[in-house]
Every structure is written in C-alpha cells, then in structure tokens.
Structure 1
Amino acid sequence: MTRVLIVGGGFVGRAIAGALERAGGEPVLACRNRPARCPRVRAPAGQTKPVAMDTAWQVRQDAADVARWVRLDATDAAGCAEVVHEVKPDAVIAVHGPSDVTWCQRHPQAALEAHLTATDNLVRATGTARLLMISTDNVFDGVAELNDEESPTAPANAYGRAKLAAETVVHSHPDATVLRVSLVYGPQTPTPGKRPNFAASCARDLRAGRAVHAPADQWTTPVHVGDVATVALAAVREAPRLLHLGGPERLSRADWARRLADLTKAPRTLVTDVARDAGPYACRPANSCLTSRLLPDLLHTWGLSVRGVDEGAADLLEDCIRHAATMGGVDGSTPHGGDRPDHRRRDTGGLHPADPA
C-alpha cells in the first residue's frame, strides 16, 4: 500500500501524512484549504526523526517531507468521486470534521448532517479500496472509567452522536475499520482561528509563567499524535472492523497539567483545579477514556508501542523552546491552557469547525 488519500488536513491528518511519507509511501491530503506545515515530533525509539513538512504541490528545498494536496469539500458527493478517481488511492483515511465538540453541541443538526453526508460520500467514492475512519471516545456517556470495543455506546454529546452515526455508515463498506481514539496531544503551532490541543497550550502557558485552569473531574487516556499516526497506518493495511486507541494512563486534565508543570519546571501552583461543568468542557463526558481488548496483540504484531504522557511530553517542551525562539523569547499561546473555545471557521474537509482540544 503506497498511496493513501487522507481526507482532513488538520492536526491528525497532517501527522498521518508525515508518518506515511517517512515510511516511503505517498500521502495525498484532501481538504478545503491548503494545510499548514506539520509540526516536528519526536519519533519513537528505532524510527527516523521526522522533519517539517510543507503540504504543497511544490517541493521546498528546506523540507524533505512533502505531501500532495488536493482541494476537497467532503460534503460534495461529486467532488469526492472526482478526487478518488484522480488520485486512485490504495486506501482512504477519513479524519474530517466537524470535530469541535462545543461547536457541535451548539449546532447538533448541522454537525450530524455534515458527518453523515461526508462519510456517505467517501464510502460511495472509495468503492472497494480500503477505508479507515478516525472516530472518538465521545460515543460513550462517560459513566464507566474505561470503555473497550465491546462496551455499549451511549453518546455523551452531539459530536459523539454524529460520529456514531458516521460509524454506522462506514460499516456498510466491505473493507473498513473504525479507529476510535482518545484525547490526542502533541506539538501544535498556533494559527489564527485555531487553538492548539490542551497539552500544547498548557505547556506553553506554564513555561511562560501563566496560570492554567484545568478540570479536576474530567478524565482522559491521552494519546500522542505520533502514535495515532503510526497505529492508523498499520490499521489501514489490516485491522478488525472496530479498534480502540487510548494512551496507557488514565488521568484528569488537572493532574496532567501538573505533570506538565513539572516538565516545564513551572510551579504547580500555576495550575488551578476547576469543575468540568464550569467551562468549555461541560459537554464532554466525565470519563473520555478508552481501553482495548485487541490493541495489545496488534501492537506486538506491528512492532509498535504507545507512549505515556511523560515520554510524549518531551516533544512539547522542545516545541515550546522553538516557539519562544521564533517569537523573540515571548510565548504567544492562549491563556488558561487554551480553555477559551474558539468557534471561528476551521478547515475540516467539509464546511464546519474542527480541531478538538
């Protein structure tokens, strides 16, 4: 499998493209607007360290990894068919939005229609080519501390309902896998209209001496974006119809923020515990946590591992240092760990906001 069409040019889509490029494959990113440059991420032991990737048609002399990019609105059926016909991919990975949980909660019908329409278009256009869809832990209500592939679904919010409906459409494809992932983190450059993921925002704020307000009653199993990318590329070759990917640790956002304070050598007193219901995480399930009955054996077969948050956070510190250097020693990240929701339009491969935090 060499050519993969990746629908969605956001944080996860770009990471998958970079991982495929390093593996010698040919990623083609498809989304409404030209994606931003991919962040550098520390590769797991034994893998070549990635470099920056500029997702443009031209090869930049200062960027060794370059992904092809095609413009696509995934809610346009004719557009999806045309892109698949032109690209002729060996497989398709769907990472399209809208995935801003708060936006979806405020626009539940629009979120549902966007996910259903885009997913149905991709299933029809893909034909018999292999299909992988990235889904979410929000398909569960958050009552149980952990959910595996056999746990009954009960979406906690509009985003989870839209994704679960899209999963049903994907399962009508003859050769498809749904990969549900937990909260994704890693280096992420702030861009206008988009806020970095929770961990990246926290690390920058803490290193700059700014306070972070984080829920003490919202639990996650964070997974590094680099691990999402490598597992997705392994799963798109062959995997069960449904697979869960979460990090090896279950911890609250507040506890995670304190771990990041230790990493950045910031005082833990900068981290203030808040209630989930008091801020932008009110519509998230209390437990956004995934475990898997199937993944451990698959990781062994694939020769992969999923790193814990301390190992994964090493990238965040390097990213903070690089970002501060480019800003002349001033870190320009969003106060309060990126907790302020940003509902401006974002690139999703569709029509609505994306980029969950």
Structure 2
Amino acid sequence: MENQSPDPPSPTSTASRRLLVTGASGFLGWPLCRAAQATWQVVGTCHRHRPPLPGVALHQIDLSDLGNFSAWLETLAPDAVIHTAALSQPNRCEQVPELSHRLNVEATRVLAQFCGDRSIPLAFTSTDQVFDGQTPPYTEASRPSPINIYGRHKVEAETLIQALHPAAVVCRLPLLYGPPSPTAECFLQGFVRTLEAGQPLHLFTDEFRTPAYVDDVAAGLLLALEKATGLLHLGGPERLSRYEFGLQMAEVFGFEQDLILPSKQADVAMPAARPPDVSSNSDRAFKLGYRPRGVEAGLVASRHQT
C-alpha cells in the first residue's frame, strides 16, 4: 500500500474547480490568492495595480462598472467566490459616499445575485465596524449598529447577501496586520517608517480591537468558504488598544518604547466616527478550526517578512 500512487483528483474536487477572488491586489487578497492555489484554480480581479501572482489568472476589472462586471461573471462562470474587494478606508468612505455605495453595496449585490441564482459558494468580507463599540465583545448574534458610512454600507451589503444567497458566509474581519504585499500595505508599515525616522507615534488608548495576522485570516476565509454559512467572526485571539499594539510592535521590532505616546480618539479630528471597542468573539470560527496566532507571534512573522 505504501508504494501506491495516490488517486488522481476527481472532477468535482476543489483542485479542479475555479475560485474567483476579487481584490487580488489588496492587502488581504494577495495572500489569499497564494494560499488558495493549494486547493483551487484561482482567478483574481484587480483594478489599477496588477500584482505578481504566478499561477493566478488575473483580470483588470472595474467593479463599479456594474453592467460590465455582471457580464464578465457570466463569461467566467466561477465555481466559488471570495469577495474581498472594497473601499475599506472609513475616512475615504465618508468623503466619497457614492463611490463607497457603488463598490461596497452595489458590486456586492451583483455577486450575491449571480452566486445565489446558481447556488455557488460565496464568502463575503465584512467588518467589525458594523458595530458602535458600546457593548463588546460582539458575537454573530449581536445587533449591528454602525456609526460611520463604511459600517452602514457593509451592513447594507450583509443584508443583501442574506436575502439573495442565504447559504453564503459573511465574514466580519477585524483590524488586519502583517507584512506588505507587492501592491498594498497596512497600518503597520506606516508605524515602522515613523519609528525608523525617530519620530514619536501617537496611538489611541481608548480604541480597542481584536487584531489578526493577515495570513491567518486568509486561511480562515478558505475554511469559511468550505464549512460555514451565515455570519462568522474572524477576529484575533487578543483584545488590545492601538496603544498596547504599538508597545508590542516596538518591542518586537526593536524600537524605543518611549516613542509610543498615548492619545485619545478625541485628540484627532477624522472624517469618520470610530467605535471605541469592536472586540470580536470568534468562538464559532474557532470551533470550525480557525487558528489565528497571537499578536506577538504575528508581529514576529511580520518583522521576518518585511
């Protein structure tokens, strides 16, 4: 038995099926495409920036062109979809609400309708910003109560998906961090540049999240696509303020911790209101096998890949 070759994959195995990942050039989409290639034929969309993704069929598509996007989906005929593309900067969404609605809601409607009509597995990336931050920790049973346009539009998209494709999974994501992709960064890279320049970094002591390492969330999305329906939180295992995160980052990256200075949300004027504490309870995902690493381990991995 030990010398027998494994049976070839059946025509219905995931390795022979096509997974569409929208937002392949994004901070999350790029590692997701790389991870998905182990079990899927991956097709990715990008808009302005075409990332290096050997083995992934990339298509430059403007998702805000809804008619063209819908027709392209018909031609592509994917077997499953993970929708990560979004206008995900809360301040930007406040400044251009029409574009936010078109990308975050209407493009999602097109995908939900397409996948729902064909019973195609769909995983949608939502956000912990659907909550107002007053009654944490939040579970999938918590009632959404967004306080900014980004959160409101994500709630609207969630509602559409649940109506048009009840078997889809809506994954609410936390603050993501990790090494940069070739075409996208996260807040961590800006923090590092500030400290490398010897400049102080002012971070909130009154904004709490459950941050997660980006590769772990990518793995969680693939798990959710296969095993989950409905709402699913993919938060990290630790509740930290921005300030506490910064102190851990300084220690791991070898910066002076006295460069990390405490501040309050009220000290900084921003277009978008920020909920004070959107810590996620991700027990449901943990029971499915989601295993996000702790912040220290994630920062060490980020340092080694930066």
TM-score by length of 1: 0.75
Letter aligned with residue 238 of structure 2:
E
| Aligned pair partner of 2:27 in 4, 7, 11 | 11
Query: How many Å apart are 1:280 and its aligned residue?
Result: 6.2
Q: Aligned equivalents of 1:125 and 1:295: distance in 2?
A: 26
Letter aligned with residue 295 of structure 2:
V
1:219 aligns with 2:208: yes
| Aligned pair partner of 2:153 in 156, 162, 167 | 162
1:88 aligns with 2:77: yes
Cross-structure match for 1:354: none
Query: How many Å apart are 1:217 and its aligned residue?
Result: 1.0
Q: Aligned equivalents of 2:77 and 2:127: distance in 1?
A: 28
% identity of equivalent residues: 32
Q: Aligned equivalents of 1:280 and 1:31: distance in 2?
A: 32
C-alpha RMSD of matched pairs (Å) = 2.0
Letter aligned with residue 148 of structure 1:
T
Cross-structure match for 1:330: none
Query: How many Å apart are 1:95 and its aligned residue?
Result: 1.0
Q: Aligned equivalents of 2:121 and 2:112: distance in 1?
A: 10
Q: Which deviations, in whole Å up to 9, do the C-alpha atoms of 1:67-102 show, x marking residues without a partner?
A: 210122223333223332333211011112111110
Q: Aligned equivalents of 1:24 and 1:152: distance in 2?
A: 35
Cross-structure match for 1:135: 126
In structure 2, runs of 5+ residues without a counterpart are 1-13
Q: Aligned equivalents of 1:79 and 1:284: distance in 2?
A: 35
1:186 aligns with 2:186: no
Q: Aligned equivalents of 1:315 and 1:292: distance in 2?
A: 22
Cross-structure match for 2:168: 176
Query: How many Å apart are 1:293 and its aligned residue?
Result: 4.0
Structure 1 residues 284 and 242: alpha-carbon distance in aligned structure 2, compared to 1, 3 A threshold: same
Q: Aligned equivalents of 1:210 and 1:316: distance in 2?
A: 21
Structure 1 residues 120 and 106: alpha-carbon distance in aligned structure 2, compared to 1, 3 A threshold: same
Structure 1 residues 236 and 215: alpha-carbon distance in aligned structure 2, compared to 1, 3 A threshold: same
Check whether the contact 2:84–2:125 (CA below 8 A) recurs between aligned residues: yes
Cross-structure match for 1:71: 60
Q: Aligned equivalents of 1:99 and 1:289: distance in 2?
A: 18
Q: Aligned equivalents of 2:122 and 2:100: distance in 1?
A: 21
1:287 aligns with 2:273: no
Number of residue pairs aligned between Structure 1 and Structure 2? 286
Check whether the contact 1:102–1:280 (CA below 8 A) recurs between aligned residues: no
Check whether the contact 2:167–2:229 (CA below 8 A) recurs between aligned residues: no
Q: Aligned equivalents of 1:125 and 1:220: distance in 2?
A: 33
Q: Tell me the secondary structure at the aligned position of residue 236 of structure 1.
A: helix
Q: Aligned equivalents of 2:47 and 2:181: distance in 1?
A: 19
Check whether the contact 2:27–2:181 (CA below 8 A) recurs between aligned residues: no
Q: Aligned equivalents of 1:155 and 1:131: distance in 2?
A: 24
Check whether the contact 2:227–2:288 (CA below 8 A) recurs between aligned residues: no
TM-score by length of 2: 0.87
Letter aligned with residue 279 of structure 2:
C
Structure 1 residues 226 and 280: alpha-carbon distance in aligned structure 2, compared to 1, 3 A threshold: farther
1:198 aligns with 2:214: no
Higher relative contact order (CA 8 A, sep 6+): 1
Cross-structure match for 2:42: 27
Q: Aligned equivalents of 2:241 and 2:166: distance in 1?
A: 38
Q: Tell me the secondary structure at the aligned position of residue 227 of structure 1.
A: helix
Q: Aligned equivalents of 1:272 and 1:164: distance in 2?
A: 34
In structure 1, runs of 5+ residues without a counterpart are 37-53, 56-64, 321-357
Cross-structure match for 2:231: 242
Check whether the contact 1:254–1:271 (CA below 8 A) recurs between aligned residues: yes
